[in-house]
Structure 1
Amino acid sequence: MGGSGAGGSNAGKRPNEQLGSWFVRSGWSKGELARQVNRRARQMGAHHISTDTSRVRRWLDGEQPREPIPRILSELFSERFGSVVAVEDLGLRTAHQSPSVSGVDLPWAGPQTVALLSEFSRSDLMLARRGFLGTSLALAAGPALIEPMQRWLVPSPAGEPRRAEPAGSSRRPSRLSRPELDLLESTTVMFRQWDAQCGGGLRRKAVVGQLHEVTDLLQEPQPEATSKRLFKCAAELAELAGWMSYDVGLQPTAQKYFVLALHAAKEAGDKPFGSYVLSSMSRQMIHLGRPDDALELIHLAQYGSRDCATPRTQAMLYAMEARAYANIGQPSKCKRAVRMAEDTFSDAGLDGEPEPDWIRFFSEAELNGENAHSYRDLAYVAGRSPTYASLSEPVMERAVELFGKDEEHQRSYALNLIGMATVHLLKREPEQSVVLAEKALGVARRVRSERVNTRLRKTVDTAARDFGDVAEVLDLTDQLAAQLPEAAEAV
């Protein structure tokens, strides 16, 4: 690994063999790892961090870096290997946080949910400039995640007393008017549109700020009907903050917002939206290489909303179930879930009932995109199977065609262009892959989404590795280096 100890600060320290093992297997150089740490730190708002090759060498020699470096390294190695690599797996120490800050096993009660939403959103807003709180969070996975989420299904105690005002309080009950509540809800819709058009990096802090304002209103005495609407608004904002955090690469932060969104949805009595939150958590687990966890979360969502979700929501859940089965490597169950998604989607809107805005994104384009990615994922799990790649191709083509006409969902357009590019790589058609990747690069430059950027980089890296002698691939590699921005700050 080159180089000896980094001087007196390492006297008496033993080399960190665990970190060294992960580092060697990653294939990164010390300089490359240092650059990635710095980029992720800037993205998280930790501008004081400036890592170089000598610092990386000291970590390998046994120096224990201070937060947020351990969490950044955990995320980088997790993404590199496609599965959760905990801080402890790297031979590093974690900062001790109170359960309310770091855990996902939280009390299922209204006052505590409001307090935790307020605490976490305030920390997100206030600490961003000094090194974002999310860097000291631990990602939960396996039973530590699934078991607390299962309590979503447990009915709330009947007749739970409303929170009393503190003794001597002179505050009067808040009288939010119906137009004011309508405006809060329409603002959430606007934020959701911005996210779809521009990616999670552009307005994340605005969403967190709005969430904090709503929790302030929930801390005031409210009529029960108003309180439920505010909890619903808080749930939608928290889910959106989680989704935007996921989109820009803040994975532990995203998970914490998702968990809090599920708690708020329970307080609002909104089971369909709770199932949607669980689907977002499932998607994150697939991204992190935990398809078994993803499947359990989706099954929990399906069971909890089986008697109240609209056909469009049910179709979305079936499509996510298919993604989980694909990544586990169960083709027959994946294909069955794909068929169920298609059949259920055909019933969407037939009853004439208006759909909630949060599920409006699940269009024919999105259905085709999800199902195409399920077949594409099956192809990878099955050892780059051309059969599954061929199954994916016409469905992905339809998704690209439909998203190409949709100005609102530009990030989805980019992701499906990249998906189509990967299908052509699986079919050993590098020239066609390059055409699609170039289109995706054009969209990526307009959309602030590190998820899009990362997928594009990985796709081009794969093309360069497998078809490095193809002139078009070499040219695309040069274009990517010149045009794709570094990881954007989460704002």
Structure 2
Amino acid sequence: MGSYKVAERNGGLPVGGNGGSATNAEKRPNEQLTSWFVRSGWSKGELARQVNRRARQMGAHHISTDTSRVRRWLDGEQPREPIPRILSELFSERFGCVVAIEDLGLRTAHQSPSVSGVDLPWAGPQTVQLLSEFSRSDLMLARRGFLGTSLALSAGPALIEPMQRWLVPVPATDLGRPETAASARRPSRLSKPELDLLESTTVMFRQWDAQCGGGLRRKAVVGQLHEVTDLLQEPQPADTAKRLFKVAAELAELAGWMSYDVGLQPTAQKYFVLALHAAKEAEDKPLGSYILSSMSRQMIHLGRPEDALELIHLAQYGSRDCATPRTQAMLYAMEARAYANMGQPSRCKRAVRMAEDTFGDAALGGEPDPDWIRFFSEAELNGENAHSYRDLAYVAGRSPTYASLAEPVMQRAVELFGKDDEHQRSYALNLIGMATVHLMQREPEQCTVLAERAIGVARRVRSERVNTRLRKTVDTAARDYGDVAEVVRLTDQIAAQLPESAEAV
């Protein structure tokens, strides 16, 4: 396993009036920050404006950066929090990969484990406490980006090694708050119908996310998660605690997924990690494997396919004897995505075949699937495999060969999602994917047809992920085929109908 520089802790130094220096002693030019800055193509004034805009989004209205301040950072001045976090997020977004605070030659301040890193205690009471603290903070600090920019993403060994502890068995006495003899005899104040209702509410939230995207109901999910952690802080019979941990795990995963969908990447990762802890307390290995697959998808999105592959292999190993064929097929499909982004076509194709074969086993019936994996339909299988071929094409320099492999599979996904009113976000993402395939095949006119359809769906779906992919596809079309009339019309259309704006979360 390679060695990566990662940011593990959230900063907490007192904030100066304009993000000034924590110390000027022995100041030396910051060569690391300078390197990232030069490659970004930004001017000092442009970076200063972006820092100020992001600071306002997170409620830090006292931040007022200018070109002279940026110059001092490049000369070696160490800015105080939250400037290092803001710079890390801005450069990560610019380059499409994790650019940690340390990668910028900046220092981080220590914070308590409740709000920092991913290496958390694997014990029931601590998991409940951390879920409660984090969900409460998310609800209180409701401005877009505040909580997200006060966290740092973990990657490489700092992420993988703590997640491997998921495989260590949990002592039965660690489930929830330890029961005394009196509490063991006391009946739970939660009846079975009430527990059933909590579980069905989670299913409803998941349906809303698929239909409307992560931006519409995220805070409702976080609020429900906080209520469930309140219940877990009360003495509960073991079987009730187990069901509550399962509900908490599903809600935390969904909160993470919605955060990922609207672009709050550090917040998403924190929820995923806490969800995995809760799934472990619930002794639900298949659910844990699903959470790890969500983490893997996020790492692919952030340009860390090696980390994605490690997470998927951990998921496969941990659930190898208990996951349903549908879940196993989904894990193979994500394995293919990781191999594609690593530029390993033979392993990618093998994982695609395994996903198809295993999904065929799911069609034969057998053990019923849990609700969280029912999204993985024939349409989703085709969409994932087509995106693997498309990603291979990108890694191979927009190879027409791999693009031709993606086209029929992606077309099938588009056809199936077009008949599915419940998964509109997936429909939009596959329309965009098909548009990119046509671009790689030098067919800009066909690209615009699909992109225009995707715009119509995107306007109904609150998903920054959809909007970002759509804008990038249109930008690529404009760069490569700016003289094509259909592309010019598409560029005007997206500027008018899908302008960039802050997402409500």
Structure 1 length normalisation: TM-score?
0.91
Match of 2:370 in 1: 356
Correspondent of 1:283 among 273, 285, 297: 297
1:46 equivalent in alignment to 2:59: yes
Distance 2:422 2:75 in 1: 50
Structure 1 position 480, deviation (Å): 1.9
For residues 182-193 of structure 1, what are the structure 2 equivalents within 5 Å?
Answer: 182-193=196-207
Identical counterparts, % of pairs: 88
Contact 2:215 2:258 in 1 (8 A): yes
Please tell me the residue identity of whatever aligns with 2:456.
Answer: G
Please tell me the root mean square deviation across aligned C-alpha atoms, in Å.
Answer: 2.7
For residues 385-400 of structure 1, what are the structure 2 equivalents within 5 Å?
Answer: 385-400=399-414
Moved more, 297-306 or 150-159: 150-159
1:229 equivalent in alignment to 2:243: yes
Structure 1 position 68, deviation (Å): 3.5
Distance 2:468 2:63 in 1: 22
Distance 1:70 1:183 in 2: 44
1:459 equivalent in alignment to 2:478: no
Structure 1 position 490, deviation (Å): 4.1
For residues 1-20 of structure 1, what are the structure 2 equivalents within 5 Å?
Answer: 16-20=30-34
Structure 1 position 442, deviation (Å): 1.6
Correspondent of 2:191 among 157, 177, 180: 177
Contact 2:127 2:278 in 1 (8 A): yes
Moved more, 69-78 or 415-424: 69-78
Assess, with a 3 A threshold, how the Cα gap between structure 1 residues 38 and 245 changes in structure 2: closer, same or farther. farther
Structure 1 position 36, deviation (Å): 4.9
Q: Secondary structure at the residue paired with 1:384? A: coil
Please tell me the residue identity of whatever aligns with 2:121.
Answer: P
Assess, with a 3 A threshold, how the Cα gap between structure 1 residues 160 and 60 changes in structure 2: closer, same or farther. closer
Match of 1:4 in 2: none
Match of 2:122 in 1: 108
Moved more, 438-447 or 219-228: 438-447
Please tell me the residue identity of whatever aligns with 1:306.
Answer: R
Moved more, 292-301 or 473-482: 473-482
For residues 284-323 of structure 1, what are the structure 2 equivalents within 5 Å?
Answer: 284-323=298-337
Assess, with a 3 A threshold, how the Cα gap between structure 1 residues 125 and 285 changes in structure 2: closer, same or farther. same
Distance 2:75 2:500 in 1: 29
Distance 2:60 2:304 in 1: 31
Contact 1:430 1:467 in 2 (8 A): yes
User: Structure 2 stretches of 5 or more lacking a match?
Assistant: 1-17
Moved more, 305-314 or 62-71: 62-71
Contact 1:369 1:396 in 2 (8 A): yes
Q: State the Cα deviation string for residues 196-217 of structure 1 (Å, max 9, x = none).
A: 1111111111111100000000
Correspondent of 2:218 among 183, 188, 204: 204
Contact 1:39 1:486 in 2 (8 A): no
Match of 2:396 in 1: 382
Structure 2 length normalisation: TM-score?
0.89
Contact 1:441 1:480 in 2 (8 A): yes
Please tell me the residue identity of whatever aligns with 2:381.
Answer: L
Correspondent of 2:380 among 342, 366, 390: 366
* Number of residue pairs matched by the alignment: 482
Structure 1 position 51, deviation (Å): 6.1
Assess, with a 3 A threshold, how the Cα gap between structure 1 residues 164 and 344 changes in structure 2: closer, same or farther. closer
For residues 467-478 of structure 1, what are the structure 2 equivalents within 5 Å?
Answer: 467-478=481-492
Contact 1:47 1:131 in 2 (8 A): no
Match of 1:122 in 2: 136
Contact 1:373 1:392 in 2 (8 A): yes
Q: Secondary structure at the residue paired with 1:289? A: coil
User: Structure 1 stretches of 5 or more lacking a match?
Assistant: 1-6
Distance 2:145 2:401 in 1: 47
Correspondent of 2:171 among 154, 157, 163: 157
Q: Secondary structure at the residue paired with 1:128? A: coil
1:24 equivalent in alignment to 2:33: no
Match of 2:4 in 1: none
Distance 1:189 1:330 in 2: 37
Match of 1:247 in 2: 261
Moved more, 95-104 or 258-267: 95-104
Match of 2:14 in 1: none
Q: Secondary structure at the residue paired with 2:398? A: coil
Please tell me the residue identity of whatever aligns with 1:279.
Answer: S
Structure 1 position 75, deviation (Å): 2.3
